[in-house]
């Protein structure tokens, strides 16, 4: 038996595509969710954002509809980020949404809205907490990280990580008790200092969070819940969570076993709403991100950062719109799909494969002139069509007698593509195979 019980990742691997939502007080300064850290903002000075938090254009139904239209099947929202602000009602701190001018449990409203659209629900919960009076401050992150030694020590005098660990268990208990079935719990993050793991002012890991206990607390309430790999507890993760990069192949857990994974990505360079950040990804980049993840057996968790007023700004809506447009015709190559075993896609292409339907999807990043040779598919294809409109794609089968037709080698086929690239960010050919791939 595994050392740690695991959650249910079956639905997750089918779903493949979710929405990440970073929303908290940092949406007011609108200069990144790590603003307290970067600008070393004291508790006193950060208070203004709490006092001003009043999202008058908050319409979670719109977020949920946009997510659904984009083809997303689940969401993960920051119940609490590193700043320590709780978007939910809690008995264990006053630094919570119900004490701000808006005065309501907005997490609950978001959950209800997404459930109404049929999406599954995940909570992001920050292990780091720059607000809690028992969170021992360290030199690695937070507003007080650069204090001179004397002051630094003074700040830490009465802090007690054991009480903080209990606080986290209490809050996780609330989150997993008061909001119905929660599908994902996304802890963030551990940073143990390798040379001095015992020195809590240099880094923090599983001993400081009491990760085993935290995990047990969560599993006892919701045994099927999916838990990420950021608790610093090898062997406990249901999913691995690469961030802001795309792995080149299917992933493994800390112990080398194949594992479900989910890459989290931003539309621009910040998770929280950032007014002036402008590295927004293009339509093609967004669609390729999704395909790249799925072609390597992963999920994509695409982030939006709603504004302080509670709406998704035009740039975020536009980004979601790219997915909506593409997924309307191409979701078959995403849901339930993963890597295509034993096949190598041609240059500038990606395969995904649906093991249930035994359909292979060829995503063409770079549109060739008329012919595209597919290795190892000779004699194996029953039919091929453009996924966009189910129009037939003709093919040449090479035979020993006529090798070289359109350059096709024996054992391969060549697709005959239209000269004009279809008007999709990434066109897809759906290939119906005669025999199962694996």
Task: Rank residues 78 and 408 by Cβ distance to ligand GLC and give the closer one.
Answer: 78
Task: Rank residues 77 and 327 by Cβ distance to ligand GLC and give the closer one.
Answer: 77
Nearest to 5 by CA among 232, 241, 183, 238: 238
Does 215 contact ligand GLC by CB under 6 A? no
Q: What is the enclosing helix (H) or strand (E) of 10?
A: helix 10-15
- Least separation in angstroms between residue 213's CB and ligand GLC is 22
- Least separation in angstroms between residue 137's CB and ligand GLC is 16
- Least separation in angstroms between residue 92's CB and ligand GLC is 21
Phi and psi based region of residue 149 (left: phi greater than 0; alpha: psi -120 to 50; beta: remaining): alpha
Does 264 contact ligand GLC by CB under 6 A? yes
Does 88 contact ligand GLC by CB under 6 A? no
Does 253 contact ligand GLC by CB under 6 A? no
Separation between Cα atoms, residue 145 and residue 311, nearest integer Å: 33
Does 135 contact ligand GLC by CB under 6 A? no
Does 224 contact ligand GLC by CB under 6 A? no
- Least separation in angstroms between residue 330's CB and ligand GLC is 26
Phi, psi dihedral angles at 17 (to 5 degrees): -145, 125
- Least separation in angstroms between residue 305's CB and ligand GLC is 10
In contact, 66 and 31? CB cutoff 8 Å: no
Separation between Cα atoms, residue 254 and residue 3, nearest integer Å: 14
Sheet holding 74-80, edge to edge: 226-227, 184-188, 120-126, 74-80, 17-21, 298-304, 260-266, 239-240
Task: Rank residues 50 and 130 by Cβ distance to ligand GLC and give the closer one.
Answer: 130
Separation between Cα atoms, residue 298 and residue 132, nearest integer Å: 35
- Least separation in angstroms between residue 271's CB and ligand GLC is 5
Task: Detail the DSSP E strand segments found in 307-389.
Answer: 349-354, 359-364, 371-374, 381-386
Task: Rank residues 264 and 308 by Cβ distance to ligand GLC and give the closer one.
Answer: 264
Tokens encoding 232: 């610093």
Query: Which one of 105, 129, 138, 188 is in contact with ligand GLC (CB under 6 A)?
Result: 188
Task: Rank residues 127 and 425 by Cβ distance to ligand GLC and give the closer one.
Answer: 127
Does 189 contact ligand GLC by CB under 6 A? yes
Does 273 contact ligand GLC by CB under 6 A? no
- Least separation in angstroms between residue 243's CB and ligand GLC is 4
Q: Which of the 8 DSSP states describes residue 437?
A: -
Does 33 contact ligand GLC by CB under 6 A? yes
Does 271 contact ligand GLC by CB under 6 A? yes
C-alpha dist (Å) from residue 248 to 169, 242, 245, 265, 289: 36, 11, 9, 15, 12
Given the rule CB under 6 A, which residues bind ligand GLC? Answer: 22, 33-34, 188-189, 243, 264, 271
């Amino acid at each position: 038996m595994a050392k740690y019980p695991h959650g249910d990742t079956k639905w997750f691997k089918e779903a493949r595509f979710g929405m990440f939502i970073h929303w908290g007080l940092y949406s007011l300064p609108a200069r990144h969710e790590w603003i307290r850290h970067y600008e070393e903002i004291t508790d006193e000075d950060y208070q203004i954002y709490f006092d001003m938090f009043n999202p008058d254009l908050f319409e979670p139904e719109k977020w949920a509809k946009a997510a659904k239209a984009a083809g997303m099947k689940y969401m993960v929202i920051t119940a609490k980020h590193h700043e320590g602000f709780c978007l939910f009602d809690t008995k264990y701190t006053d630094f919570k949404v119900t004490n701000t001018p808006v005065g309501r449990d907005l997490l609950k409203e978001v959950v209800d809205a997404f459930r109404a659209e049929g999406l599954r629900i995940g909570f992001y919960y920050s292990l780091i907490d720059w607000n809690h009076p028992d969170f021992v401050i360290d030199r690695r992150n937070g507003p007080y990280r650069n204090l001179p030694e004397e002051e630094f020590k003074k700040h830490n005098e009465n802090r007690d990580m054991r009480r903080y660990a209990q606080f986290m268990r209490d809050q996780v208990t609330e989150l997993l008790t008061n909001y119905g079935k929660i599908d994902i719990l996304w802890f963030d993050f551990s940073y143990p200092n390798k040379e001095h793991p015992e020195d809590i002012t240099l880094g923090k890991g599983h001993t400081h969070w009491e990760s085993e206990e935290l995990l047990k607390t969560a599993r006892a309430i919701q045994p099927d819940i999916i838990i990420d790999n950021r608790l610093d507890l090898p062997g406990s993760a249901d999913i691995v969570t690469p961030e802001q990069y795309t792995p080149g192949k299917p992933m493994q857990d800390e112990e080398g076993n194949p594992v479900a994974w989910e890459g989290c990505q931003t539309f621009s360079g910040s998770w929280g709403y950032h007014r002036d950040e402008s590295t927004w990804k293009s339509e093609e980049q967004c669609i390729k991100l999704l395909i790249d993840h799925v072609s390597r057996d992963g999920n994509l968790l695409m982030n939006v950062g709603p504004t302080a007023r509670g709406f998704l700004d035009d740039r975020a809506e536009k980004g979601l719109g790219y997915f909506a447009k593409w997924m309307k015709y191409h979701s078959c190559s995403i849901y339930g799909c993963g890597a295509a075993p034993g096949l190598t896609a041609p240059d500038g292409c990606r395969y995904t494969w649906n093991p249930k339907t035994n359909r292979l999807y060829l995503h063409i990043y770079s549109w060739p002139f008329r012919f595209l040779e597919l290795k190892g598919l000779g004699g194996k294809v029953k039919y091929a069509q453009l996924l966009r409109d189910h129009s037939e794609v003709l093919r040449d089968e090479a035979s020993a007698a006529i090798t070289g037709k359109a350059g096709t080698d024996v054992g391969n086929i060549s697709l005959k593509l239209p000269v004009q690239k279809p008007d999709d960010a990434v066109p897809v050919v759906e290939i119906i195979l005669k025999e199962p791939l694996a």
